[in-house]
């Protein structure tokens, strides 16, 4: 089954409602993709994810290449069977991890030479091998190798990095097999809006099934990130899905949707869950704080997730303070449910021509986003 995207509606703000079809099912956009870096979303099972309403997962090429190895995964039936996930999967190229985790690396026209963060073994990742790895994994959507431009970066560095990403993108497309997988292009250019426009034109000219904004949420101030998104996202092709990589907070998701973004991923809901920070409609709740020791209320009284239906803040604080494994699971179920609920509500608001009204209410409820400002 070939990848297909349908834009179903666009409201006056630019928010979009769509659907894309993959060999492993349909996905409604805008959508958030939980991150299963090493073939598992930390703390929860695929059945948990299905119950929460997750439609698509993201896994990491770099980590699966190093361990257990893409050939082993392929021999065991591909990543879907290996991790027992029946829905669509997107794999990133591993480029960001090479640049962020590996202290010893060399970037040249060929690709990236680096030392494994696991054992120091010498490895090489090229645009061609990144495609080969992802084809072996069998993901529904795959990404080309790119250089994630650091922040801060000079204009010269950002331009050279961007041009290298363009050349690698061409090689990635030439290498890709006609196997039903969708290959998305990645737009770089650092924080320079004119370079972002140049990158957009170059990547669109190469031609991909979808387009992603990379190199954001890498340390820049929030207003600068929003400026780059606002100046780039609305100019992406309307008939292809738009993906904002590695971003972000609930507020980031809402802003991105208002700019016409269709797809998001971030480790924030799962990582925060393991660290005892829970997301609610009125902001963040830090469950370890003493004020919740005897609190009988659920995390969020308006939430219908398994955790909120069955457990009090007092109990969640207790198991977190005791270091119980169950804490990570229950917190993760809640945070992912919250993120998926936001996306569902935005889809419904766009369909009902009331996204602007919904967004205004969202920000009003979160006007005081200080941890521990919550009361039932």
Just list the catalytic residues: 92, 265
Cis ω for the linkage preceding 248 (within 30 of 0): yes
The Cα-based distances of 138 to 78, 84, 130, 157, 352 in angstroms read 6, 13, 12, 34, 36
Find the Cα–Cα–Cα–Cα dihedral 7, 8, 11, 16, rounded to 10°: -40
Separation CA 7–CA 28 (nearest Å):
10
Q: Which residue has the tokens 């005081």?
A: 368
Separation CA 339–CA 249 (nearest Å):
9
Q: Which residue has the tokens 């973004």?
A: 261
Separation CA 151–CA 305 (nearest Å):
37
Half-sphere exposure for 289 (CA within 13 Å, toward CB): 15
Residue 257: which of 186, 371, 351, 335 has the closest Cα?
351
């Amino acid at each position: 089954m070939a990848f297909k995207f349908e834009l179903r509606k666009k409201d006056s703000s630019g928010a979009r409602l769509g659907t894309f079809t993959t060999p492993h099912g349909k996905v409604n956009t805008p959508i958030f993709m939980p991150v299963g870096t090493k073939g598992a979303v930390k703390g929860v099972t695929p059945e948990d994810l299905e119950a929460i309403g997750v439609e698509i997962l993201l896994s990491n090429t770099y980590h699966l290449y190093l361990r257990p190895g893409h050939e082993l995964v392929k021999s065991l039936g591909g990543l879907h069977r290996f991790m027992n996930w029946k829905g669509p999967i997107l794999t990133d190229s591993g480029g960001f991890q090479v640049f962020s985790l590996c202290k010893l690396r060399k970037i040249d026209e060929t690709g990236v030479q680096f030392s494994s963060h696991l054992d120091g073994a010498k490895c090489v990742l090229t645009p061609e091998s990144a495609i080969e790895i992802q084809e072996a994994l069998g993901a529904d959507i795959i990404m080309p190798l790119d250089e994630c431009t650091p922040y801060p970066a000079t204009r010269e560095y950002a331009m050279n990095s961007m041009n290298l990403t363009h050349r690698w993108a061409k090689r990635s497309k030439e290498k890709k097999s006609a196997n039903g997988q969708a290959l998305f292009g990645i737009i770089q250019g650092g924080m320079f809006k004119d370079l972002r426009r140049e990158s957009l034109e170059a990547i669109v000219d190469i031609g991909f099934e979808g387009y992603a904004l990379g190199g954001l949420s890498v340390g820049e101030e929030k207003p600068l990130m929003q400026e780059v998104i606002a100046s780039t996202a609305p100019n992406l092709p309307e008939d292809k899905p738009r993906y904002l990589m590695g971003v972000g907070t609930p507020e980031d998701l809402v802003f991105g949707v208002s700019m016409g973004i269709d797809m998001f991923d971030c480790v924030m809901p799962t990582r925060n869950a393991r660290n005892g920070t829970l997301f609610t409609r009125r902001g963040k709740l830090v469950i370890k704080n003493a004020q919740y020791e005897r609190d009988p209320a659920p995390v969020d009284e308006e939430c219908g997730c398994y955790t909120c239906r069955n457990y009090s803040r007092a109990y969640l604080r207790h198991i977190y303070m005791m270091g119980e494994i169950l804490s990570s699971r229950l917190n993760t179920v809640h945070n992912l449910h919250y993120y998926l609920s936001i996306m569902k509500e935005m889809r419904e608001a766009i369909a009902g021509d009331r996204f602007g009204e919904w967004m205004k209410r969202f920000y009003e409820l979160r006007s005081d986003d200080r941890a521990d400002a919550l009361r039932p």
